Amino acid sequence: MAKKVLILGAKGMLGTALMAEFFDLNPVGLDREDIDITDQNQVNQKILNLRPDLIINAAAYTDVDGAESNQDLANAVNGTAVGYVAAAAKQVGAILVHYSTDYVFDGQNQAGYNEDDQPNSINAYGRSKLLGEEELQKNTDQFYLIRTAWLYGPSGKNFVDTILSLAKTKESLKVVNDQFGRPTYTIDLAHTTRKLLESNSEFGIYHFTNQTKPEGITWFDFASEAIKLSDLKTAVVPCSTKDFPRPAKRPNYGVLQNNKSVTLRNWQEALKDYLSKKI
């Protein structure tokens, strides 16, 4: 296992889970107040000074709707900056782990997406993340590109918390039932990232989400399970994407197929674990 670990985006939702997962290796965690990854000089200065063996990039612009009106910023953070980090990683001989999303795909394929399927994003956030995938692969060979989806976990605003706080004040909730995907608990993703590194797996693209039935689950299924596990009585009413117009188009089918060896546990077990740890 790498000796010196640098985690970018260390205070984000996934970054916090990564800092905990790699705690025994005393990782250096940097977030926006320590480094602006869109500034190549800062990236080079930090990485060339620290000379890490492993860099994990969890820094990103993650406001999917906001990206529609802030495309330059989204492209800078999620796209160009990934190239800067990758080039600096190559210069010091570090392995780079980077995260991407199911939103790089168009969501037309009901069977889901394999690691080597051709991306075709339908919104600005997805395009910015796709640019990052390209910049990563252009600038270094020693990378793990991990696509994931529907993240939730401690230290961040997430769907589960939003649904549960609404459920506490409402008798019924309408939730979208025509977008299919796979939720991912950040603690499981951080743990699986470490397993991937420790198994010296081949560099390349990986799809990591919690496991669901093959066709995935909907936001309605996800909300219903969270409410049931929390012993709340709120009625969950299925509705269509059209009932909640948003600035960014969402893919209908975003199931990421994992055809490689390391897998995450079942989504219901992961959700139960998350809820049992909440105060």
Ligand X SMILES: NC(=O)c1ccc[n+]([C@@H]2O[C@H](COP(=O)([O-])OP(=O)(O)OC[C@H]3O[C@@H](n4cnc5c(N)ncnc54)[C@H](OP(=O)(O)O)[C@@H]3O)[C@@H](O)[C@H]2O)c1
* Residues forming the active site: 125
Query: 3-class SS at 11?
Result: coil
C-beta of residue 224 within 8 angstroms of C-beta of residue 183: no
Which residues neighbour 81 within 8 Å (Cβ) at sequence distance 6 or greater? 37, 38, 43, 59, 132
Q: Return the number of the residue (15 or 216) whose C-beta is nearest ligand X.
A: 15
C-beta of residue 135 within 8 angstroms of C-beta of residue 90: no
Q: Which residue, 162, 159, 153, is CA-closest to 278?
A: 153
The residue whose Cβ lies closest to ligand X is 12
Q: Return the number of the residue (150 or 219) whose C-beta is nearest ligand X.
A: 150
Q: What residues make contact with ligand X under the rule CB under 6 A?
A: 9, 11-15, 31-32, 35-38, 58-62, 77, 99, 101, 129, 148-151, 156
Q: How far is the CB of 144 from ligand X (least distance, A)?
A: 13
Q: How far is the CB of 172 from ligand X (least distance, A)?
A: 25
C-beta of residue 98 within 8 angstroms of C-beta of residue 136: yes
Q: Return the number of the residue (59 or 164) whose C-beta is nearest ligand X.
A: 59
Q: How far is the CB of 188 from ligand X (least distance, A)?
A: 13
Q: How far from each other are the two terminal CA atoms of the chain, in whole angstroms?
A: 34
What sign does the dihedral 136-196-57-94 (CA atoms) show?
negative
Q: Return the number of the residue (236 or 251) whose C-beta is nearest ligand X.
A: 251
Instruction: Determine the Cα–Cα distance for residues 223 and 250; give it in Å rounded to an integer.
Output: 18
